[in-house]
Chains A and B, each alone.
Chain A
Amino acid sequence: MRRTLSILLSNPLSVIGLILVGTVVFSAVFADLIAPFPSHRGAVVDFTNFNQPPHWPNIFGTDLVGRDVFSRILYAYRISLLLGVVVLAIAVPIGVTVGLAAGYLGGWAEFILMRLTDVFLSIPPLVLAMSVMGVLEPTLTNGMLAVTTMWWPWYARLVYNVTRSEAQEGYVLAAEIIGASRLHIMFREILPNCVPSIVTKMTLDLGFVILIASSLSFLGLGVQAPTPDLGSMVAEGGNYLPDSWWLTVFPSLAILIAVFGFNLLGDALRQVLGSDQ
């Protein structure tokens, strides 16, 4: 662990990644303390101070109903991270189980599970999420569901490949000889060897999930007003370019920082954990 950390800190890019991710997580967790106008996350309008460029105390300006853009970005991070964590918390176990089963059991199980995965992988992710959201009501829960639907197959594919090569290793053979159950071998012997790849992919993915969720709400299929959401903020602000630039530029930068941060960190973890495959 200490070695991992010291390698991480020796690479300037990963340090930047850590700082960015730290900032995003810190903003989301402590939004209530940092936000100058915590009430602006909800149903608040203030027409005495609307559409104002950045000024004190609204350092990122105010939106078209007078809410503080900075405060709303902090709360939007909360939603984005929550979405990322929940999506991965559902998608990863599903994908990992499918991948392990297909990779280790082989035969019909492999055929059915991996062809199913292929079907999901063959549909462009955004289109799949859009069709799920089109059928269901556009709410946060359904947003998570939609993104999850398109996310698990990638983990299935990843774990399947790792499992296939691990299954040939001597330690698996040894476990089989002493009569360990299949479940034991899959989850206690093989899975721990997949963890570095999974962790790396998860870190990389957090950024992408945030990006996809923002794209969905940009298209009007995500979180509904007044809940702050980076994608919808960019979409709404886009109508007022170039005059009210602060409505678009700051939420876009916020997305950039989150996605960039998680990518740098994921990249660094990949090098450190040696899961470069």
Chain B
Amino acid sequence: MNRIAKTAAAALLSVSTLALMPAAPALAETVLRLDEVAVGELDPGKATDYADSILMFNVYDTLVLPAQGAPGLVPHLAESWSADGNSHTFKLRQDVKFQSGNPLTAEDVVFSLDRMQELGLGFSYLFTNVEKAEAVDDHTVTFVLKETYAPFVASMLRLPIVDKKLVMENLGEGDGEMKDWGQAFLSANGAGTGAYKVSSHNPQQETVMAKNADYFLGVPGAAPDTVRLRYGLEPATVRTLISQGEHDISSQWLPPEVLKALAQDGAQLLTESGSGAFYVKMNTTKPPLDDPECRLALAKAFDYAAAIKMIAVTDDVSQGSPATGAIPVGMLGANPPSAELVRDLDAAKQHLNSCRYAPGDQTIEISWIAEVPLEERFALLMQANFAELGVKSEIKKMPWALFAEQVSKAENTPHISQIFNNAVTGDPDTLLYGMYDSKAPGTWQSPEHLKDADVDRLLEEGRVNTDESARAKAYHELNNRLMAIAPTIYGYDRQNVFAASDRVKVPALSDPAKAFGLDGMGFSFRLMEMQDQN
């Protein structure tokens, strides 16, 4: 045999070996196990928090996706889009099928928007500005806005497309033509195009999901076959399970000490940053916090450096970086990193002197969310900080469900609430509008119950200006205003840190070039790679 033939034979052999190889790992079913906070809301019309987002991004798809490792948006269910004044037109892909087998059409997009608006829950506040959506043809849909809304296309990241036909076949009890809009069905079943199907769902215990073999983009072989998302595990349980190799990715709510211990045991630390912050929210309707001077006093008395020290995980990884204002560093309108907030007790005392209430008059109620042990420490830190001003306080532990219910009314909202919030579409509008606009209803995002005309005006400017630099200016001004009237103590800019076993690789949460810049999107299971170990 001559050399060429030998080489050709060798090449042929290696090709055939390669062709055989992928079959081997596929024999063992891979299971990804992770956990989140107490309740997982499967209905995309009601989803709000991180656990809900993980479900939403895997069971459903959206018209666009955030670009990886860069700002901006890329096509997903939509091939392309264009804007003409206040109407935005999206061309849909023609090869997409729902998990039920029904084809994706423009009608489904219209239905998804109608349902979102009609229920008025979850992320529906992002779409109050949308007058209607119309199906131009089977694969073209136009959204007509009431008025210009600059970050409109980004808000499509939070409009999961629901299978209209399937939902209509499963309407539950209710009045009118649409009955319950399929709420009963969608809170227990998936009706999306997503890469993962819901096998079983118990909102307080566990959601089991399995790969959708017919996913329009295909699901890579390395992605987990089955995903078990458990809810409400104790930190010590997660700590032990990961060490014993029985759990793969922790929630971001583990205390830093536990993350540190896991890292020392060899767990990898996954991170996600850029769109959120830790906010200490003050009820601006309750004395003494209805006086901005009193609020400023507390904001100046807060020990920002101690907070940062508290959340350090290792020398390189921390759950946050110093805050510079209401908007996290890197986002539109944010202050530069050099403008970090520091404690100033003298300034605090001056503000307190200008406050119309004496420090001892009221006892300030500092609440903390029972599911997040770290918040108790912030509560203690604040109590000690405020005591130095002579401000009395008491600490109150509140389960999330109770908190979420109480904040709907200003008089039931505690003086101080602690919240981790993030821009749900990466745009500052989605971070700030829900928290500070006077028209926004009382939700867990807005325990301040703030009513301020300047804040409202600047929020509006940021929404209607399509010019990026004008928007930046508006948000910068808004940032300053929010610093001046201090409805909130801006604790720190948050970085989500997750501990993970070495059984899984998550490029979107470990490689900055693959990061999405949108909280929860990194948990797209189809982009995870299970390591062949078991």
Question: Helix, strand, loop or mixed for chain A's interface?
Answer: loop
Q: Is A93 an interface residue (CB 8 A)?
A: no
Q: Is B234 an interface residue (CB 8 A)?
A: yes
Docked CA distance A138–B306 (Å) = 29
- Asked if A240 and B257 sit within 8 Å, CB to CB, the answer is yes
- Asked if A220 and B397 sit within 8 Å, CB to CB, the answer is yes
Known: A224-B395, A224-B396, A226-B395. A241 touches B381 (CB 8 A): no
Q: Which residues of chain A (46-71) have a CB below 8 Å from chain B?
A: 47, 51, 64-65
Task: Kindly provide the distance from the CB of B332 to the nearest chain A CB, expressed in whole angstroms.
Answer: 33
- Asked if A45 and B306 sit within 8 Å, CB to CB, the answer is yes
Contact pick for B261, options A47, A138, A238, A243, CB 8 Å: A243
Q: Is B74 an interface residue (CB 8 A)?
A: no
Q: Is B472 an interface residue (CB 8 A)?
A: no
Q: Is B145 an interface residue (CB 8 A)?
A: no
Q: Is B38 an interface residue (CB 8 A)?
A: no
Q: Mark B225-249, 1 if CB is under 8 A from A, else 0.
A: 0000000001110011000000000
Contact pick for A238, options B236, B387, B393, B397, CB 8 Å: B236
Q: Mark B369-382, 1 if CB is under 8 A from A, else 0.
A: 01001001101110
Known: A47-B306, A51-B257, A239-B255. A226 touches B380 (CB 8 A): yes
Closest A residue, CB atoms, query B235: A239
Docked CA distance A225–B257 (Å) = 20
Q: Which residues of chain B (267-308) have a CB below 8 Å from chain A?
A: 306
Docked CA distance A238–B234 (Å) = 9
Known: A45-B306, A138-B397, A244-B257. A239 touches B370 (CB 8 A): no
Task: Kindly provide the distance from the CB of A167 to the nearest chain B CB, expressed in whole angstroms.
Answer: 49
Closest A residue, CB atoms, query B265: A243
Q: Which residues of A contact B306 (CB under 8 A)?
A: 45, 47
Known: A43-B387, A47-B309, A239-B234. A65 touches B395 (CB 8 A): no
Q: Which residues of B contact A44 (CB under 8 A)?
A: 384
Closest A residue, CB atoms, query B398: A220
Q: Is A166 an interface residue (CB 8 A)?
A: no
Closest A residue, CB atoms, query B261: A243
Task: Kindly provide the distance from the CB of A225 to the nearest chain B CB, expressed in whole angstroms.
Answer: 4
Docked CA distance A226–B386 (Å) = 14
With a 10 A CB-CB cut-off, give which of B380, B387, B395 has the most chain A CB atoms: B380
Q: Is A110 an interface residue (CB 8 A)?
A: no
Q: Which residues of chain A (214-261) have a CB below 8 Å from chain B?
A: 220, 224-226, 236, 238-244
- Asked if B383 and A43 sit within 8 Å, CB to CB, the answer is yes
Known: A43-B383, A225-B379, A226-B380. A240 touches B370 (CB 8 A): no
- Asked if B373 and A226 sit within 8 Å, CB to CB, the answer is no
Docked CA distance A65–B381 (Å) = 8
For the complex, count residues of B whose C-beta is within 8 A of A.
Answer: 28
Q: Is B144 an interface residue (CB 8 A)?
A: no
- Asked if A236 and B376 sit within 8 Å, CB to CB, the answer is yes
Contact pick for B395, options A225, A236, A239, A240, CB 8 Å: A225
Task: Kindly provide the distance from the CB of A98 to the nearest chain B CB, expressed in whole angstroms.
Answer: 35
Docked CA distance A49–B379 (Å) = 18
Contact pick for A45, options B261, B380, B393, B396, CB 8 Å: B380
- Asked if A241 and B397 sit within 8 Å, CB to CB, the answer is no
Question: Helix, strand, loop or mixed for chain B's interface?
Answer: helix
Contact pick for B236, options A64, A138, A220, A239, CB 8 Å: A239
- Asked if A241 and B395 sit within 8 Å, CB to CB, the answer is no
Docked CA distance A146–B376 (Å) = 24
Contact pick for A65, options B234, B240, B380, CB 8 Å: B380
Q: Mark A11-40, 1 if CB is under 8 A from B, else 0.
A: 000000000000000000000000000000
Q: Is B67 an interface residue (CB 8 A)?
A: no
Docked CA distance A239–B238 (Å) = 10
- Asked if A240 and B384 sit within 8 Å, CB to CB, the answer is no
Q: Is B258 an interface residue (CB 8 A)?
A: yes
Q: Which residues of A contact B309 (CB under 8 A)?
A: 47
Q: Is B389 an interface residue (CB 8 A)?
A: no
- Asked if A240 and B379 sit within 8 Å, CB to CB, the answer is no
Docked CA distance A47–B381 (Å) = 9
Docked CA distance A126–B122 (Å) = 37
Closest B residue, CB atoms, query A221: B397
- Asked if B255 and A240 sit within 8 Å, CB to CB, the answer is yes
Known: A45-B306, A138-B397, A226-B395. A236 touches B373 (CB 8 A): yes
Docked CA distance A239–B258 (Å) = 8
Contact pick for B394, options A47, A51, A224, A242, CB 8 Å: A224
- Asked if A240 and B258 sit within 8 Å, CB to CB, the answer is yes
Q: Is B210 an interface residue (CB 8 A)?
A: no
Contact pick for B384, options A45, A64, A220, A236, CB 8 Å: A45
- Asked if A243 and B257 sit within 8 Å, CB to CB, the answer is yes
Q: Is B310 an interface residue (CB 8 A)?
A: yes
Docked CA distance A236–B368 (Å) = 13
Closest A residue, CB atoms, query B383: A43
Q: Which residues of B contact A226 (CB under 8 A)?
A: 380, 383, 395
Closest A residue, CB atoms, query B368: A225
Closest B residue, CB atoms, query A43: B383
Task: Kindly provide the distance from the CB of A64 to the nearest chain B CB, expressed in whole angstroms.
Answer: 6
With a 10 A CB-CB cut-off, give which of A43, A240, A243 has the most chain B CB atoms: A43
- Asked if A224 and B397 sit within 8 Å, CB to CB, the answer is yes
Docked CA distance A231–B399 (Å) = 18
- Asked if A239 and B373 sit within 8 Å, CB to CB, the answer is yes
Docked CA distance A45–B376 (Å) = 12
Known: A220-B370, A220-B397, A224-B395. A241 touches B257 (CB 8 A): no
Q: Which residues of A contact B234 (CB under 8 A)?
A: 238-239
Q: Which residues of A contact B394 (CB under 8 A)?
A: 224
Task: Kindly provide the distance from the CB of B182 to the nearest chain A CB, expressed in whole angstroms.
Answer: 34
Docked CA distance A51–B260 (Å) = 12
Task: Kindly provide the distance from the CB of A16 to the nearest chain B CB, expressed in whole angstroms.
Answer: 32
Closest A residue, CB atoms, query B396: A224
Q: Mark B17-58, 1 if CB is under 8 A from A, else 0.
A: 000000000000000000000000000000000000000000
Closest B residue, CB atoms, query A48: B309
Docked CA distance A51–B377 (Å) = 12
Q: Which residues of A contact B240 (CB under 8 A)?
A: 241-242
- Asked if B257 and A43 sit within 8 Å, CB to CB, the answer is no
Contact pick for A241, options B236, B373, B396, CB 8 Å: B236
Q: Which residues of chain B (362-420) have a CB below 8 Å from chain A?
A: 370, 373, 376-377, 379-381, 383-384, 387, 393-397, 399
Residues of B within 8 A of A (CB): 234-236, 239-240, 255, 257-258, 261, 306, 309-310, 370, 373, 376-377, 379-381, 383-384, 387, 393-397, 399
User: Could you show 25 A-B contacts with beta carbons less than 8 Å apart?
Assistant: A43-B380, A43-B384, A43-B393, A44-B384, A45-B306, A45-B380, A45-B381, A45-B384, A47-B306, A47-B310, A138-B396, A220-B397, A220-B399, A224-B395, A225-B395, A225-B397, A226-B383, A240-B235, A240-B255, A240-B257, A240-B258, A241-B236, A242-B239, A242-B240, A243-B239
Beyond A45-B380, A238-B236, 11 additional contacts (C-beta under 8 Å) are: A43-B383, A45-B381, A47-B309, A224-B394, A224-B396, A226-B380, A236-B373, A243-B239, A243-B257, A243-B258, A243-B261
